[in-house]
Chain A
Amino acid sequence: MSNNELAVEVTDLTVAYKDKPVLWDIDVAVPSGILMAVVGPNGAGKTTMIKAILGLVKSAAGQVLIYGQPYSKQRHLVGYVPQRGSVDWDFPTNVLDVVMMGRYGRLGWVKRPGKAEREAALDALQKVGMADFSERQISQLSGGQQQRVFLARALVQDASVYFMDEPFQGVDAKTERAIIGILQELRSSGKTVIVVHHDLQTVPEYFDWVTLLNVRRIAGGPVKEVFNDENLRLAYGGRVAFKGQPEHAV
Chain B
Amino acid sequence: MNIAEVLHNLLFDYTLRTVALGAGILGIVSGALGCFAMLRRQSLLGDSVSHTALPGIAVAFLLTGTKSPVMMILGAAVAGWLGTYAVIQIVRRSRIKTDTALGLILSVFFGFGLVLLTYIQKLPNSRQAGLEKFLFGQASALLVEDVITMGILGGIVILTLFFFWKEFKLLSFDPDFLEILGFPVRWIESLLTLILVIAIVIGLQTVGVVLMSAMVVAPAAAARQWTDRLSLMVVLAALFGAISGIAGAVISSLTAHLPTGPTIVLCISAIVIISITLAPNRGLFWKWLRQLNDRRRLALEAVLLDLYELSRQHADPQHPHSVETIRTMSFHTARVDKSLEILEEKNLARRIPGEYWAITDMGRAEAEKSIQNMERRT
- Contact A104–B166 (Cβ < 8 Å): yes
Report the bound CA distance from A157 to B172 in whole Å. Answer: 20
> Is residue A60 within 8 Å, beta carbon to beta carbon, of the partner chain?
no
Known: A92-B228, A94-B228. A105 touches B174 (CB 8 A): no
Q: How far is the CB of B163 from chain A (nearest CB, A)?
A: 5
15 contacts between A and B (CB under 8 A): A51-B176, A54-B179, A54-B180, A56-B176, A56-B179, A56-B180, A82-B177, A87-B174, A91-B172, A92-B229, A94-B228, A98-B173, A109-B167, A112-B165, A137-B228
B230 interface residue, CB < 8 Å from A?
yes
Residues in B with CB closer than 8 Å to A112 are 165-166
Give bound CA distance, A82 to B277, whole Å: 36
Residues of A whose CB lies within 8 Å of any CB of B are 51, 54-56, 75-76, 78, 80, 82, 86-88, 91-94, 98, 101, 104-105, 107, 109-113, 137, 139, 153, 157
CB-defined interface of B144-155 with A at 8 Å, one 1/0 digit per residue? 000000000000
Give bound CA distance, A110 to B180, whole Å: 17
> 20 additional contacts, CB 8 Å, given A56-B180, A112-B166?
A51-B176, A75-B181, A75-B182, A80-B176, A86-B176, A87-B174, A88-B39, A88-B173, A92-B39, A101-B174, A104-B170, A105-B180, A105-B182, A107-B166, A109-B164, A110-B163, A110-B164, A111-B166, A137-B228, A153-B177
- CB-defined contacts of A76 to chain B, threshold 8 Å: 182
Name the residue of chain B whose CB is nearest to the CB of A56. B176
Partner of B224, one of A92, A98, A109, A113: A92
Give, as a whole number of angstroms, the nearest-CB distance from B220 to chain A: 11
| Interchain Cβ contacts within 8 Å, total number | 71
Contact between chains at A75 and B174 (CB < 8 Å) = no
Which of A87, A93, A98, A107 sits near B229, CB closer than 8 Å?
A93
- The tally of residues in B whose CB lies under 8 Å from a CB in A reads 25
CB distance from B108 to the nearest CB of A (A): 27
Residues of chain A within 8 A (CB-CB) of B166 are 104, 107, 110-113
Q: Are A105 and B181 in contact (CB under 8 A)?
A: yes
Residues of A within 8 A of B178 (CB): 104
**B233 contacts the other chain (CB 8 A):** yes
Q: Report the 9 A-B pairs with minimum CB-CB distance, sorted nearest first.
A: A105-B181, A75-B182, A80-B180, A137-B228, A92-B230, A87-B174, A92-B228, A91-B173, A56-B176
B128 within 8 A of A: no
Distance A127 CA – B250 CA, assembled complex (angstroms): 56
Distance between Cα atoms of A75 and B39 in the complex (Å): 27
B318 within 8 A of A: no
A81 vs chain B, min Cβ distance (A): 10
Q: In the complex, what residue of chain B is closest to A86 when comparing beta carbons?
A: B176
Which B residues fall within an 8 A CB radius of A?
39, 163-167, 169-170, 172-174, 176-183, 224, 227-230, 233
Most A CB within 10 A of own CB, among B163, B167, B173, B224: B173
Q: How long is the Cα–Cα vector from A82 to B170 in the complex, in angstroms? A: 14
Q: Which of B173, B177, B224 touches A80 (beta carbons < 8 Å)?
A: B177
Q: Shortest beta-carbon distance, B31 to chain A, in Å?
A: 15
B176 touches A92 (CB 8 A): no
Min C-beta distance of A26 to chain B, whole Å = 20
Q: Known A76-B182, A113-B166; judge A101-B228 contact (CB<8 A).
A: no
Closest to A106 in B: B181
Q: How far is the CA of A104 from the CA of B181 in the complex (A)?
A: 7
Q: B222 CB to closest chain A CB, in angstroms? A: 13
Closest to A140 in B: B228
Q: How far is the CB of A104 from chain B (nearest CB, A)?
A: 5
Contacting residues, chain A, for B230 (C-beta < 8 A): 91-93
Q: Are B180 and A92 in contact (CB under 8 A)?
A: no
Residues of chain B lying within 8 A (CB to CB) of residue A87? 173-174
CA gap between A82 and B183 in the complex, in Å: 17
Nearest Cβ distance between residue B347 and chain A, in whole angstroms? 38
Q: Which residues of B contact A137 (CB under 8 A)?
A: 228
Closest CB-CB distance, A57 to chain B, in whole Å? Answer: 10
| Complexed CA–CA distance, A159 and B39 (Å) | 29
* CB of B32, distance to nearest CB on chain A (Å): 14
**Nearest chain-A residue to B170 (Cβ)?**
A101
Q: How far is the CA of A111 from the CA of B174 in the complex (A)?
A: 19
